[in-house]
């Protein structure tokens, strides 16, 4: 009997990373800007995305969205009211979207091709932990935080906020009655991800949307 | 929450690599996990017991080496280790750092196996 050490040095999520790299290349080739929206359940991702889709469409942009939830197509129906093509991904218990699910739902998406889009938004499953490990090939990962959640959320979930490219604060219209401490929230986001772009928005009033849309246009180049 | 799917992928990868060592028994599997990889060591260990059952990995040890976050500090022009994950400032000069050098790893480092072949 012999015991020996075998070096493997392999990424555990290598399969996902490889699929994500393939997706990233296909997005770049098609010239579509892909964003991955991540937050807790109830932050207002769907309301924020619905407004974003509507405003982009009004400006003549070609947009579509994939939306992940454990069950139901409620969010897809809400988002479809914007007039944009929307496809629901039901994960049936899985707490995050992965690159394989994205690839499968882009393939065979009736009436939608990547080349025919300017922007593709992916609304992840509401969860501040697991989605941060799974690359979907996106160019921009957006972490959202609502004024009702507590200013210390970025400190409690540093992995997600640290891996984000942009941060969006939602529901600013109710900041005051919620006793939202804006300075502390901004400071905490900056502690975890120094220099990140932060957008203070309200899907209801439209506050902050101009700045957000300008950022999208710039990111698309 | 996604530790079971991560561990299932570890078990799958190790079984694949055992093809080169027929009849070998796995004694230990060593992982390298960054402090910002968003997985919990205890949960990985718990899931390992379940996922390895009935495979050549059953009964083996899982060793999880947690790697601290290392950032590059522009001001100090050095790679610096953070003490925690609550602030991404250089512990030497206090300036914010944005370039991560280590901290998100989620790798299988090595395995220790026992086989019947004699060493040369």
- List beta partners, residue B80: B71
A95 to chain B, any CB pair closer than 8 A? The answer is: yes
What is the band of A101 on the pLDDT scale with cuts at 50, 70, 90? very high
A154 contact residues in B (CB cutoff 8 A)? none
Query: Considering only alpha carbons, which residue of chain B is nearest residue A156?
Result: B86
In sign, the C-alpha dihedral spanning A183, A189, A192, A197 is: negative
A4 to chain B, any CB pair closer than 8 A? The answer is: yes
- Across the interface, do A10 and B107 touch by the CB < 8 Å criterion? yes
List the single residue in B17, B96, B107 with the smallest CB-CB distance to A11: B107
Q: Indicate the SS3 state at residue B79.
A: strand
List the single residue in A3, A4, A192 with the smallest CB-CB distance to B88: A192
Q: Indicate the SS3 state at residue B31.
A: strand
The per-residue pLDDT for range A168-179, each reduced to its tens digit, is 999 999 999 999
- Other beta carbons within 10 angstroms of residue A68's beta carbon come to 28
Report pLDDT for A171: 98
- Across the interface, do A127 and B31 touch by the CB < 8 Å criterion? no
- Across the interface, do B39 and A3 touch by the CB < 8 Å criterion? no
The per-residue pLDDT for range A27-45, each reduced to its tens digit, is 999 999 999 999 999 999 9
Query: Considering only alpha carbons, which residue of chain B is nearest residue A130?
Result: B2
Q: Low-confidence residues of chain B, pLDDT below 50?
A: 120
| % of chain A exceeding 90 in pLDDT | 95
Report pLDDT for A94: 87
Report pLDDT for B38: 86
Q: What are phi and psi of A49, to 5 degrees?
A: -70, -40
In A49-206, DSSP assigns E strands to: 63-69, 86-90, 119-123, 140-146, 166-170, 197-200
List the single residue in A2, A5, A194 with the smallest CB-CB distance to B96: A194
Report pLDDT for B5: 87
- Across the interface, do B37 and A133 touch by the CB < 8 Å criterion? yes
- Across the interface, do A6 and B114 touch by the CB < 8 Å criterion? no
Report pLDDT for B120: 44
ipTM higher than the 0.90 cut: no
pTM of the model: 0.91
A195 to chain B, any CB pair closer than 8 A? The answer is: yes
- Across the interface, do A130 and B9 touch by the CB < 8 Å criterion? no
A167 to chain B, any CB pair closer than 8 A? The answer is: no
Mean residue pLDDT across chain A = 96
Q: What are phi and psi of A217, to 5 degrees?
A: -60, -40
């Amino acid at each position: 009997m012999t015991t020996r050490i075998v070096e493997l040095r392999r990424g555990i999520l290598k399969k996902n990373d490889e699929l994500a790299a393939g997706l990233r290349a296909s997005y770049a080739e098609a010239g579509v800007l892909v964003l991955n929206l991540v937050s807790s359940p109830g932050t207002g991702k769907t309301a924020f995305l619905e407004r974003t889709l509507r405003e982009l469409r009004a400006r003549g942009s070609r947009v579509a969205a994939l939306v992940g939830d454990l069950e139901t197509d409620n969010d897809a129906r809400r988002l479809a009211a914007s007039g944009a093509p929307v496809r629901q991904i039901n994960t049936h218990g899985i707490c995050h979207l992965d690159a394989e699910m994205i690839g499968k739902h882009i393939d065979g998406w009736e009436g939608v091709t990547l080349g025919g889009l300017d922007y593709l938004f992916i609304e992840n499953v509401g969860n501040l932990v697991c989605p941060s490990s799974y690359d979907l090939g996106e160019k921009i990962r957006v972490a959202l935080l609502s004024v009702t959640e507590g200013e210390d959320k970025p400190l409690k979930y540093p992995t997600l906020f640290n891996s984000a490219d942009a941060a969006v604060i939602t529901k600013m219209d109710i900041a005051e009655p919620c006793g939202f401490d804006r300075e502390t929230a901004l400071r905490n986001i900056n502690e975890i991800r120094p220099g990140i772009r932060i957008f203070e928005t309200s899907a209801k009033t439209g506050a902050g949307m101009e700045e957000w849309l300008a950022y999208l246009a710039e990111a698309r180049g | 929450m996604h530790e079971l799917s991560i561990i299932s992928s570890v078990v799958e990868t190790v079984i694949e690599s055992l093809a080169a060592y027929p009849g070998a028994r796995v004694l230990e599997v060593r992982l390298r996990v960054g402090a910002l990889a968003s997985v919990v060591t205890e949960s990985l260990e718990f899931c390992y017991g379940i996922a390895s059952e009935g495979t050549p990995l059953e009964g083996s040890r899982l060793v999880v080496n947690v790697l601290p976050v290392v950032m590059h500090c522009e001001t100090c022009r050095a790679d610096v280790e953070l003490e925690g994950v609550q602030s991404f400032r250089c512990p030497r000069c206090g300036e914010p750092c944005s370039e991560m050098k280590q901290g998100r790893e989620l790798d299988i480092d090595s395995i220790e196996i026992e086989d019947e072949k004699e060493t040369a």
